[in-house]
Chains A and B, each alone.
Chain A
Amino acid sequence: MVASRPSVTLRLSAGLRDKVIRSGYVTVADLRAVPLEDLASELKINEEQSRELAHHLYPASSQALEQEEKWTPITTSCVALDRLFGGGQGIPPGKITEVCGLPGSGKTQLGMQLCINSQIPCTVGGAGGNSIFIDTEGSFVAKRAAQIAAASSRNLDLLDKSTSPENRMTTDKLMQGIQYCRVHSPMELIAMVRMLDGIVQAHPKVVVMNQMSTKIESHNDQRMQQGSERAPGMVHPALGETWASVCTHRIRLYNHGNGQRSARLFKSPSIQEQCVKFQIVSGGISDVGNTLPQVVSIPGDEDGELGPDLEENIFHWEPTDLL
């Protein structure tokens, strides 16, 4: 482990290393246990030296880790689904997540749910941001979004009774927090994505979650130009290898009929490939057997594994749909 590394091995300049060792700090862990300011005064080092020490004690990767921890993941309102992403709390920010699946598998529903969940206030453990939905298909139905928003609003009220009436997340407020734009062609999509920079700066707390939705939908955009490009007998996500290497997480949604839906994680840097169940009800996405969508998920109370019979069937697809 890095933490037990002897402090002698830090590549410090001679004078600084001398001071560190003479003060009795044997390992890097010892050094890290003390706040940097205290360390500086104890070792009687100047500013430049303390910066040097900090640089070696807290390398960039750990700073990135810290930042990652500071950014709140966005819950999908389904515990099992959240667990597919490292950390178990939902879609990780700062990364691109792809959701793919056949029509009717719930991609758009997940997108709408996330648009609303990204606005859960920080006080109840949400990201407290806004969202942008880039719609290439015309599938964003405001009425449905309002339905999910109303359910979420009710849940938030139950969760946090202390908020004053003006801070309440009402349906209207949640709907207002979703920026919606409809693009018709790949050209417009490129322009839109270029404009995102400015939009995000104008809304300081925007969580552009539909990076994700955009991309799924941009699938279909590309499909339009290329026709279908899949290997016979199997359905592949569109856009090919180039896109496959762009996103960090990829999940695929399935609709097994009879209200059984499942999601399969098939690319992730942190979690092994697996399959979980979820369901879509009037209030949005939720865990199986739970009629109310959960606004803030509590991990670790349900086993969402799929039975072997369901898993087996997942990759079968008849090539007959060409005709």
Chain B
Amino acid sequence: MNLTPDEIALAYDQASAYIFETRIAYGTALDLLQEEHWLSLGDPILDTALGGSGFMTRGITEIAGESAVGKTQLCLQLCLTVQLPHCMGGLDGSAVWLSTEGKFPYGRLESMINHFVSKHKETIPGLDASEIRDNIYFDSMADQETQLHIFNYQLPILIHDSHVYEESMERESSRQGEQAEDEETLRRPKKKPVKLIIIDSITNNFRSELIASTVADQTGHQAGNSGFRSSIFQRSADICEIGLRLRTLADQYGLAVICVNQVTDVFEPEFQHLVSGSSSGSHAEASTFHSLTDPMKLKKPALGLVWENTINARVILQRTRLPEYQEEETYNENRSNEPQRTLSVIFSPWAANTTSDDPEESGYCRYRIDETGVVGVPAIQ
């Protein structure tokens, strides 16, 4: 093809214009403000800590913490609150639960559903336990291959279908008018569009398979190290791909994406121990926290900087080992042997992090877990 520079420029411009019109969402920030939705945790104290309205949609939020801090509990709770109507802080949608860590906690969900139904029975008359159950999709991702397949094919289709389904339902009901709701539509459980994706946990497959590949590499003498390197690069590429998929989905359908992350040890240079605690020099410190089992150990969320750049916000859950590490007064305040649990926002584009003095915008709160779910504990004055 013999194209003149002018023709090339024209083709380039046309292509850009086409992409701009068909693919790129463009508008003023004011429009955006009106379309922005938030996913409440169903508890005012927790919501306040997260900047007032809960988790953001259209982005990825990470919940990190050691085992047994309540990550899964918090996610279960979100599966319920997402089904609330918009006026109550929900998204009037359903949830997808993708698990890499064994079975879905059905038993726990069941008890939470019961409490949830009895709590909201009066405000939402049509609330029904079986309907809530139907609006939580579960799939397990046993290995990375399954995981990629789910992210690339199954998840987008499920989400797309659920949104299309809702639109068709709306059209149908408007066409039929009010009186003609036939029995079949009534009997069909009401399926809501997917508004929440929970991945519990994002870390597991990456961790287990990274180790597997390094062990295999050690059979060759020097290949071991380079094999590890290349698997690290492969992992980074996979993390980025998953992040991109999730973000695109989240933006397209206005989803909240919650990824549970595990933690890893932090190895500090020796001298920093001597400075004891106050040595918060590099940013690395921002995400680190003290371990539950050994307060001298520092932990931070796993998967490193690549993942950190992929997520939009990070929330860390912690709990202390009680009672021997607790101060006298707070112990009385707590009046039980319950461990003290805290939720802190490490970074997010919408909520303050843990540094502010004002409790209204501290990005920090205490919580406890009871039979109803995760409940915020008011700050001690």
**A residues engaging B (CB < 8 A)?**
101-105, 108-109, 115, 133, 137-146, 172, 175-184, 187-188, 190-192, 194-195, 220, 223-225, 227-228, 230, 235, 254-260, 280-282, 309-310, 312-314, 316-318, 320-323
Residues of B within 8 A of A312 (CB): 281
| Cross-chain contact B36 with A143 (CB below 8 angstroms) | yes
Q: Shortest beta-carbon distance, A29 to chain B, in Å?
A: 46
Contacts A172-B30, A258-B355, A314-B282; A181 near B25 (Cβ below 8 A): yes
The reply to whether the CB of B306 lies closer than 8 angstroms to some CB of chain A is yes
| Cross-chain contact A143 with B33 (CB below 8 angstroms) | yes
Interface of chain B residues 312 through 366 with chain A (CB within 8 A): 312, 314, 346-350, 352-353, 355-356, 358, 361
| Cross-chain contact A223 with B304 (CB below 8 angstroms) | no
Number of A-B contacts (CB under 8 A): 200
| Cross-chain contact B349 with A140 (CB below 8 angstroms) | yes
Q: Shortest beta-carbon distance, A84 to chain B, in Å?
A: 19
Query: Which 9 A/B pairs are nearest by Cβ-Cβ distance?
Result: A313-B281, A104-B347, A259-B355, A227-B236, A178-B29, A142-B33, A191-B19, A194-B16, A321-B304
Binding stretch for chain A, among B79-87, B148-156, B247-255: B247-255
The reply to whether the CB of B20 lies closer than 8 angstroms to some CB of chain A is yes
| Cross-chain contact A137 with B247 (CB below 8 angstroms) | yes
Residues of B within 8 A of A256 (CB): 280-283, 285
The reply to whether the CB of B24 lies closer than 8 angstroms to some CB of chain A is yes
Residue picked from A143, A146, A188, A314, most chain B C-beta under 10 Å: A143
* A–B Cβ pairs within 8 angstroms, 12 of them: A104-B286, A143-B33, A184-B247, A195-B20, A220-B309, A224-B241, A235-B305, A254-B283, A255-B347, A256-B282, A321-B284, A323-B264
Instruction: Write out, one digit per residue, whether chain B residues 122-166 have a CB within 8 A of any chain A CB (1) or not (0).
Output: 000000000000000000000000000000000000000000000
Contacts A140-B32, A179-B28, A180-B26; A227 near B240 (Cβ below 8 A): yes
Residues of B within 8 A of A138 (CB): 58-60, 247, 250-251, 312
The reply to whether the CB of B112 lies closer than 8 angstroms to some CB of chain A is no
**Interchain CA distance A258-B265 in the complex, whole Å:** 21
Residues of B within 8 A of A255 (CB): 283, 286, 347
Q: Shortest beta-carbon distance, A178 to chain B, in Å?
A: 4
**Interchain CA distance A143-B34 in the complex, whole Å:** 9
The reply to whether the CB of B75 lies closer than 8 angstroms to some CB of chain A is no
| Cross-chain contact A175 with B309 (CB below 8 angstroms) | no
Q: Shortest beta-carbon distance, A287 to chain B, in Å?
A: 16
The reply to whether the CB of B170 lies closer than 8 angstroms to some CB of chain A is no
Q: Shortest beta-carbon distance, A186 to chain B, in Å?
A: 11
**Interchain CA distance A172-B28 in the complex, whole Å:** 10
Q: Shortest beta-carbon distance, A150 to chain B, in Å?
A: 11
Contacts A102-B305, A175-B28, A312-B281; A320 near B267 (Cβ below 8 A): yes
Residues of B within 8 A of A227 (CB): 233, 236-237, 240, 306
Q: Shortest beta-carbon distance, B327 to chain A, in Å?
A: 20
**Interchain CA distance A29-B358 in the complex, whole Å:** 59
- With CB as the reference atom, state the residue of chain B lying closest to A225: B240
- With CB as the reference atom, state the residue of chain B lying closest to A183: B24
